[in-house]
Amino acid sequence: MILGAVLVAGGLLVAAALLWLRRDRRYQSSESVAEAYDAWTDDRLLERLWGEHVHLGHYGNPPGARDFRRAKEAFVHELVRWSGLDQLPAGSTLLDVGCGIGGSARILARDYGFDVLGISISPAQVQRATELTPDGLTCRFAVMDALALDCQDRSFDAVWSVEAGPHMPDKQRYADELLRVLRPGGCLAVADWNRRDPSDGAMSRKERWVMRQLLNQWAHPEFASIKGFQTNLDVSTYHLSAVETADWTESTLPSWIESIAEGIKRPGAVLGLGPFAVLQGLRETPTLLLMHWAFASGLMQFGVFRLKR
């Protein structure tokens, strides 16, 4: 019995390692990003493990112990306060760019009274976000490309985007689109995974290898640096005011290990989906560990950006 269990576990580990080494999620186009998120949404593994929020959590400054799912909700409120969105009146229109399955959008609508449009390039995410949203909440979702927003100029009081930038092959166009749809007096709130700026030190051989894995495993064409994306916002044709940034790496760092620990704390969430879900969970673990190392070592930084037009 024990030998059989060991053999099964060993087989799953080998299969997961082979899947990870295939790197079949390399960025090729916007379609490859959509396909990756469709798959992650349809298998329900991330939702079962992490709840309604795919983004990182906020653990305070300095970080302290906090439930993983509550940390994700706390992140939304921290970004709202830091960016000044809490100063906008109820009924303000907000565009959530890269909305996932709508966790943040629902909090923004429920707790702050915003009229939210969440967009994703993944049809599966939009469908699931719609299913999870209760009737009466001022929150809706649509399939849309963040680099070609089907929205009029200056049509939103606030624009919100969390951890979407790494999927954008053209960072300047991404910045331009975020600002194009923002009304005068409106607020922009962006949070992203950012690489260390080249001016702060070239990557070592080890770091280059890690960076390649972080790009290939999760359909990322490239990471911007905090300085780089701040420049993208500053030089945009639609820019009207100073961009402020901050580094939230320390406050969000526990998320990477906690995201793995959720599989141990909630084994039924994985096992209930069958052997393939276990295999998928094991496949994601090396990338999550590399992300933790990259953020802990300074190769990556968690940047937040705000401005008021």
Residue 122 and residue 43: Cα distance in Å, rounded? Answer: 14
Section 176-181 average pLDDT:
98
Domain boundaries defined on the chain = 25-308
The pLDDT assigned to 265 comes to: 84
Place 12 in a pLDDT band, splitting at 50, 70 and 90: very low
The Cα 22–Cα 215 span in angstroms is 13
Across residues 54-64, what is the average pLDDT?
Answer: 95
pLDDT for 22 equals: 54
Percentage of the chain modeled with pLDDT above 70: 92
Q: Worst-scoring range by mean pLDDT, 48-57, 167-176, 218-227?
A: 48-57
Give the residue-averaged pLDDT of 89-97.
98
Q: Which fold has domain 25-308?
A: Rossmann fold (3.40.50)
Question: What is residue 11's predicted lDDT score, i.e. its pLDDT?
Answer: 45
Rounded to an integer, what distance in angstroms lies between the CA atom of residue 123 and that of residue 125? 5
Three-state SS annotation for 14-82: HHHHHHHHHCCCCCCCHHHHHHHHHHHHHCCHHHHHHCCCCCCCCCCCCCCCCCHHHHHHHHHHHHHHH
Convert the pLDDT of each residue in 185-214 to its tens digit.
899 999 999 999 999 999 999 999 999 999
Q: What is the mean pLDDT of residues 35-58?
A: 89
Mean pLDDT of all residues in the chain?
90
Backbone angles phi, psi at 47, to 5 degrees: -65, -40
* Residue 21, pLDDT score: 54
The pLDDT confidence band at residue 8, using thresholds 50, 70 and 90, is very low
Predicted local distance difference test score (pLDDT) of residue 3: 44
Give the pLDDT of residue 14. 47
What is the sign of the dihedral through the CA atoms of 294, 296, 298 and 302?
Answer: positive
Rounded Cα gap, residues 93 and 138, in angstroms: 10
pTM to 2 decimal places: 0.91
Structure tokens at 56: 């990182």
Tell me how far the alpha carbon of residue 224 is from its chain's centroid.
14
Look at residue 23 and tell me whether its pLDDT is greater than 70: no
For residue 178, is pLDDT > 50?
yes
* Average pLDDT rounded to a whole number, residues 171-197: 97
CA gap 106, 134 in Å, rounded: 9
Q: Is the pLDDT of residue 9 over 60?
A: no
- State the residue for tokens 């269990």: 5
Q: What pLDDT shows up at residue 19? A: 46
Q: For residues 160 and 278, give the distance between their C-alpha atoms in angstroms, rounded to a whole number.
A: 33
How much is the pLDDT for 24? 64
State phi, psi for 141 to the nearest 5 degrees.
Answer: -140, 150
Task: Please state the rounded mean pLDDT for residues 256-260.
Answer: 94
pLDDT average, residue stretch 233-243? 90
